[in-house]
Amino acid sequence: MTKLKIEDFLLQNYSEQTVKSYMFAINHFLVMNPKAKRYKYRNIVEYMEEIGKQQTNAKYRVVILSAIKKYYDFLIMSGYREDHPCRKLNIKVNSNQAVQVQDLFSSEELQLLMTRENRYENLDTRNSVLLNLLIYQGLTSDEIIRLNVQDIDLDAGTIYIKASSNLNNRRLQLLAKQILLFSKYINEVRPRMLRSATDKLIITKLGKSIAVNSIHAMIEPLKPLFPDKNLNPKTIRMSVICNWLNEEKLALEHVQELAGHKWPGTTEKYFKADSLQQRELINRFFPL
């Protein structure tokens, strides 16, 4: 087994940056555990307990355990093992700790969601609008179903999001490439789909207001794109917020405003430690 082969396996589902982080943790694990190929559940638990004694930050322990799980996924795929010694092993993360950003989706991965086509043109356009709202504006399912046509200002290129008990109201910019799509949907497609009077922006194929479970059903066929990740409207939104902070490097207060978070601490949870920081932490507590 070579490093290149493991990398190729990981690159099938993850970005290059994510693979680099995983590979560093995997290589470190293998150097410290030369018999890891034959390890049982107990061995992995003991290793993670040792890490826990030195590193109390659950965020980094989750990164290390995630990498170890990928190593055993690779062994099974390669025929070296038939069982996975730690698939069900998890690290408890308190709600006030950081979001596990390594399990989210990069901007490139989110773009793959836009490649799916529907055989019905009206639904294809509607689904594109819905996906746009998820992957570019980072809206929640509840916010999407509460949108009215009047909330979209095509002339100004903005969308108004109403406040809820958990999130602030906000006015977000539409991307230039969204204007034409939204205009087509609002002025051409949506009127053809309507069956009864409603101001709701997103409607079903039967012309009625859409429900949250319908949004989840629309995402369901896209899950095979990421078999090792949990794809749903919530993780899409979380990924968008994470990418605003870590890929686009937007200011914390700006991301807080875009996401509608009431408190900056909620937004801070999405900060991702870069690869260098992860390596420094691992080397500090487990030097080779």
pLDDT at 59: 67
Cβ-contact 105, 91 below 8 angstroms: no
pLDDT value for 281 = 55
Residue 93 confidence (pLDDT) above 70: no
- Reported as a pLDDT band with limits 50, 70 and 90, residue 170 is very high
Buried b (16+ CB within 10 A) or exposed e, 153-188: eeeeeebebeeeeebeebebebeeebeebbeebeee
Does residue 1 register a pLDDT over 50? no
Determine contact, residues 282/25, Cβ cutoff 8 Å.
yes
Q: What's the rounded Cα separation, in Å, for the pair 162 and 171?
A: 9
pLDDT at 48: 87
pLDDT band at 283 (very low <50, low <70, confident <90, very high): low
Distance of CA 96 to the CA centre of its chain: 19
Residue 268 has pLDDT above 90, yes or no: no
Domain locations along the chain: 3-98+273-285, 107-268
pLDDT band per the 50, 70, 90 thresholds, residue 267: confident
Predicted pLDDT at 115? 77
Which has the higher per-residue pLDDT, 287 or 21?
Answer: 21
Residue 30's Cβ-count burial label (10 Å; 0-12, 13-18, 19+) is middle
Predicted confidence at residue 65, as pLDDT, reads 87
- What pLDDT, in 10s, does the model give residues 26-41? 999 999 999 999 999 8
The predicted pLDDT at position 74 comes to: 93
pLDDT at residue 274, as a whole number: 57
Is residue 54 within 8 Å of residue 285, measured between CB atoms?
yes
Question: How far out from the chain centre does Cα 155 lie?
Answer: 31
Q: Give residue 222's Cα distance to chain centre.
A: 13
Stretch 200-210: mean pLDDT: 90
pLDDT at 2: 47
Span of 5-9, 11-15, 242-246 with lowest mean pLDDT: 11-15
Which band of pLDDT confidence, cut at 50, 70 and 90, is reported for residue 50?
A: confident
Instruction: Give backbone dihedrals phi and psi of 251, rounded to 5 degrees, phi first.
Output: -65, 145
CATH superfamily assigned to domain 107-268:
Intergrase catalytic core (1.10.443.10)
- For 52-56, 136-140, 157-161, 281-285, which range has the lowest pLDDT when averaged over its residues? 281-285
What pLDDT does 185 receive? 96
How many residues make up the chain in this entry?
A: 288
**Averaged pLDDT score across all residues of the chain:** 85
